Amino acid sequence: MKKLSKESIIATYNDLVQEQGSIPMGEGVFTRETGISTYYWKGGFWRSWSAFQTEAGHAPNSPTQRIADETVLQRFAEIAAERGALLMQNVRKV
C-alpha cells in the first residue's frame, strides 16, 4: 500500500462511517474494513485512535463499562433458577 495522507485516511474513515449509518467505529473495524492498519496513522499523524476520531469530526468512542460483580452474580443466579439447578460436578457430599 502506498503512503497515505492524513486527508485520505480521514476521508476513508468518514466514508465508512456514512456507510455504517453514521456510527463511528473502533480501530479494529476500520482496519478490517479498509486494510489501513495502525502502521499508516499511529505515531505519524495521530497519537491515538481517539485523537484521530476527534480530528475526523467524531466524538471518540467511550470504553466499555465494567459490569458490577453483583449484577453478574444476580444474573447467574437467575439463569440457574430458570434451569432448575446448577450442575454440581466435582462436589463432595459431606
Over the stretch 47-89, which tens digit does the pLDDT of each residue have?
A: 999 999 999 999 887 777 899 999 999 998 888 888 876 555 5
**Predicted structure pTM score:** 0.63
CA atoms within 13 A on the CB side of 54: 8
The three grid cell numbers given for residue 20, joined into one nine-digit string: 455504517
Q: For 5-14, write each residue's pLDDT tens digit.
A: 999 999 999 9
Residue 93, classed as helix, strand or coil, is: coil
